[in-house]
Amino acid sequence: MSYDKSVADHYLHGDLLKSIEAALPSLGKTTENISIEDLAAVDEFHIGGRQATSSLIAKLMFSEQHHVLDVGCGLGGAARYVADKYKNNVTGIDLSKEYIETGEALCGWLNLDKQVNLVQGSAMSMPFEDETFDGGYMLHVGMNIEDKAKLFEEIYRVLRPRTFFGIYDVMRQTDDGLIYPVPWATDSSTCKIAVSQQYKETLSDAGFGVSKENNCRDYALDFFKKLREKMATSSEPPPLGLHTLMQESTGVKINNLIENLEKGYIAPVEIIAYRY
């Protein structure tokens, strides 16, 4: 089995679109009146969800004319948020066929299929011409990619000069072994987290400058504290959420993620890079 297939299989649900659609009546919604905010609980698959997306995108200064790249777009939640809020055209790419097909359906529900284009493929060899995009971002993607030098070289290739690229990834804080499984990996075979210094060095080698770095560990711990408090007051999970994606493995993966954060092994980190 190829490494890419191993990563894609980790995220495989099997019937994801039907699971999302089946939850709509509990929200009092249909495919005709569902909103971006209704879907945020399931289609923003990273620590902090929509709030974290908003924080990163606000730092990238996209204008309406910009064609934006979403690397590792998943279901396209962030892409739809950017298209709706900032009126950008957004192209997302992701390894998972199921995520792309589901994301395309969600774009149709929200009438954003003209602004958002989702493509199945590898971020290591993107099917785009040189200097296609006016900026971009990736949210919790690098944890599955070992060759970050090649990743950033490829991103540099498809970005136009004088553009921003934002990263929000889980990064290693110590040399300690992680507690598995976590949301992005069942074991160490597909977990390729790195320290922020490696990100900055490989970005620099690819031709980027790094303008900002923000360690978000405290934010993440507060996010999960509030999530646990909310769950403690409810007798059952919400209609849509991370459990929709991870199914029966949700509890153990989230608990291990929180333990890794609390022990200081990992932290989500924002990096803002500039393509000269």
In this prediction, residue 233 has a pLDDT band, given cuts at 50, 70 and 90, of: confident
**Residue burial 135-166, b: 16+ Cβ < 10 Å; e: rest:** bbbbbbbbbbbeebeebbbbbbbbbeeebbbb
Give pLDDT tens digits for 170-201: 999 999 999 999 999 999 999 999 999 999 99
How many structural domains compose the chain? Answer: 1
Give pLDDT tens digits for 145-155: 999 999 999 99
CA dihedral 172, 177, 183, 186 (to 10 degrees): 140
pLDDT for the residue numbered 232: 85
Q: Is the pLDDT of residue 218 over 90?
A: yes
Q: Which two tokens stand for residue 275?
A: 């393509």
Place of tokens 């097909």: 101
pLDDT for the residue numbered 105: 98
Provide the CATH number for the domain around residue 16: 3.40.50.150
Q: Which two tokens stand for residue 102?
A: 């589901």
Q: How far apart are the C-alpha atoms of 264 and 252, rounded to whole Å?
A: 18
Average pLDDT over residues 56-61: 96
In this prediction, residue 231 has a pLDDT band, given cuts at 50, 70 and 90, of: confident
pLDDT for the residue numbered 17: 97
Average pLDDT over residues 253-270: 98
pLDDT for the residue numbered 1: 83
Average pLDDT, the chain: 97
Percent of the chain past pLDDT 70, that is, above it, reads 100
pLDDT for the residue numbered 21: 97
pLDDT for the residue numbered 197: 98
In this prediction, residue 235 has a pLDDT band, given cuts at 50, 70 and 90, of: confident
pLDDT for the residue numbered 32: 97
Q: Is the pLDDT of residue 16 over 90?
A: yes
Q: Is the pLDDT of residue 112 over 90?
A: yes
pLDDT for the residue numbered 2: 95
Q: For residue 29, what are the domain limits?
A: 3-275
Q: How far apart are the C-alpha atoms of 90 and 114, rounded to whole Å?
A: 10
Give pLDDT tens digits for 156-169: 999 999 999 999 99
Q: How far apart are the C-alpha atoms of 255 and 243, rounded to whole Å?
A: 13
Q: Any idea what DSSP says for residue 170?
A: E
Give pLDDT tens digits for 68-92: 999 999 999 999 999 999 999 999 9
